[in-house]
């Protein structure tokens, strides 16, 4: 990563503030500023596997990935720099976790884009710290306060679920389609037929909805699920367990940690990084799928109808078909065989 996000550029306006501090960076970090900013020492905790991959190359063991930060992750830190995510429940989960571990008197800096709701930070943490806005630039707000009391954090209290008859779907803050089944996934599920067999890879698994529904009507499938978000990994594991299904669930940035080949790759791929439109993950998924499909295996994805995936599918697989569509989404199918181009 090279270019800094607007949030990081705001932090850089105050770079002198951090030179003598022992800083813990957390939240929605989308660049390598935590490794570049001059500090007495820097640590990182992130729930996003792809962010950890980038930062761990520069910070080594000082960059940690996981759903929940531990006392070891914040050891020696006297300052928190928190990048506000686009999801408020996710921010509350992360901030309560971090503030329950950091020492009283710890300085707290919160930065984020105004359209992401960073203004909510003041009210969200007012029970434990008084935040004041100290800068406003690049359409971002930058807040500062000190930790006056520590919250009691219980990760279990943030767990939730919803029914998708006859299944139970387990979720956590920040997981895609946390409260109910999204329209795109629902459309994709209409194209799955019972008695599917073989190895299935669910990329960007979220709460594990696609895999759970598939396993329910096709019990002979062998499931592999991956996602970048630690909350999604935990949710998918819980969804499979509560419904009595088995599967291999692990973090991966698209195919970064995936090995082997599959008969079916399923995905409702994201097209945002934070609040910005980004097609990188989906294009990496399409182009990389041919290296992970058995001959005759298929990639099946759902996407907003306006996104330019047909061209990438044809360039990679030679052809594609639309299995279903509505006013907003299309379900694409491409088969690996002649005409597919491994890259």
User: Positive or negative, the Cα torsion across 171, 177, 178, 179?
Assistant: negative
Q: Which residues pair with 322 in a beta bridge?
A: 332
The per-residue pLDDT for 1 is: 43
The per-residue pLDDT for 275 is: 47
Quick one: pLDDT band at residue 343, thresholds 50, 70, 90? Answer: very low
Higher pLDDT, 306 or 261: 261
The per-residue pLDDT for 339 is: 54
Do the strands 132-137 and 140-146 form a parallel or antiparallel pair, or are they unpaired?
antiparallel
pTM here?
0.94
pLDDT, the chain, mean: 93
What's the whole-number mean pLDDT along residues 211-230?
96
The per-residue pLDDT for 18 is: 98
Q: What is the pLDDT of residues 84-123, one digit of tens each?
A: 998 999 999 999 999 999 999 999 999 999 999 999 999 9
The per-residue pLDDT for 341 is: 53
Q: What is the DSSP letter of 86?
A: S
> Cis peptide leading into 166, omega within 30 of 0?
yes
What is the residue-wise DSSP string for 122-158? HHHTTTTB--EEEEEETTEEEEEEEB-SPPP--GGGG
Q: What is the pLDDT of residues 283-303, one digit of tens each?
A: 899 999 999 999 999 999 999
Q: Is residue 225 within 8 Å of 255, Cβ to Cβ?
A: no
The per-residue pLDDT for 278 is: 55
Quick one: pLDDT band at residue 229, thresholds 50, 70, 90? Answer: very high
Quick one: pLDDT band at residue 211, thresholds 50, 70, 90? Answer: very high
The per-residue pLDDT for 338 is: 56
What's the whole-number mean pLDDT along residues 80-84?
98
What's the whole-number mean pLDDT along residues 245-270?
95
- Tell me which of 47-51, 254-258, 275-279 is least confident: 275-279
What's the whole-number mean pLDDT along residues 68-80?
97
Share of the chain above pLDDT 70, in %: 95
Sequence-separated (6 or more) residues with CB below 8 Å from residue 284: 254, 255
CA dist., res. 228 & res. 34, Å (int): 19
Q: Is residue 332 within 8 Å of 321, Cβ to Cβ?
A: yes
Q: Give the CA distances from residue 131 to residues 32, 108, 127, 128, in Å, rounded to whole numbers and listed in that order.
A: 25, 8, 11, 10
The per-residue pLDDT for 38 is: 97
Share of the chain above pLDDT 90, in %: 87
The per-residue pLDDT for 277 is: 45
Q: Is the pLDDT at 157 greater than 80, yes or no?
A: yes
Higher pLDDT, 178 or 278: 178
- What's the chain's length in residues? 343
What's the whole-number mean pLDDT along residues 59-70?
98
Taking each continuous run of H as one helix and of E as one strand, the counts in the chain are 10, 18
The per-residue pLDDT for 224 is: 98
Do the strands 198-203 and 160-164 form a parallel or antiparallel pair, or are they unpaired?
unpaired
Could you give the 3-state DSSP secondary structure of residue 119? coil
Q: What is the pLDDT of residues 246-258, one digit of tens each?
A: 999 999 999 999 9
């Amino acid at each position: 990563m090279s270019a800094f996000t607007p949030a990081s550029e705001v932090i850089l306006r105050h770079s002198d503030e951090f030179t003598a501090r022992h800083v813990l960076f957390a939240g929605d970090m989308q660049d390598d500023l935590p490794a570049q900013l001059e500090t007495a020492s820097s640590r990182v905790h992130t729930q996003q596997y792809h962010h950890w991959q980038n930062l761990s190359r520069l910070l080594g063991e000082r960059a940690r990935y996981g759903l929940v930060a531990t006392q070891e992750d914040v050891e020696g830190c006297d300052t928190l720099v928190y990048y506000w995510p686009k999801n408020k429940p996710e921010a509350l989960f992360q901030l309560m976790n971090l503030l329950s571990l950091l020492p009283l008197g710890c300085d707290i800096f919160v930065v984020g884009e105004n359209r992401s709701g960073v203004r909510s930070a003041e009210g969200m943490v007012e029970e434990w710290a008084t935040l004041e806005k100290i800068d406003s630039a690049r359409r971002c707000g930058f807040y500062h306060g000190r930790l006056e009391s520590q919250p009691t954090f219980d990760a279990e209290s943030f767990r939730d679920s919803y029914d998708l008859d006859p299944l139970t779907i387990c979720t956590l803050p920040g997981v895609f389609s946390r409260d109910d089944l999204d329209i795109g996934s629902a459309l994709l599920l209409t194209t799955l037929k019972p008695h599917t067999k073989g190895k299935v890879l669910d990329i960007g698994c979220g709460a594990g909805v696609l895999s759970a529904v598939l396993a329910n009507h096709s019990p002979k499938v062998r499931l592999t699920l991956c996602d970048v978000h630690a909350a999604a990994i935990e949710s998918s594991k819980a969804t499979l367990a509560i419904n009595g299904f088995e599967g291999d669930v692990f973090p991966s940035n698209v195919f970064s940690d995936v090995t082997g080949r599959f008969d079916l790759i399923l995905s409702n791929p994201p097209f945002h990084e934070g609040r910005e439109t980004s097609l990188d993950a989906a294009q990496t998924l399409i182009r990389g799928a041919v290296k992970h499909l058995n001959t005759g295996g298929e990639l099946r994805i759902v996407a907003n109808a306006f996104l330019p995936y047909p061209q990438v599918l044809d360039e990679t697989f030679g052809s594609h078909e639309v299995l279903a569509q509505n006013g907003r989404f299309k379900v694409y199918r491409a088969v690996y065989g002649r005409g597919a181009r491994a890259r």
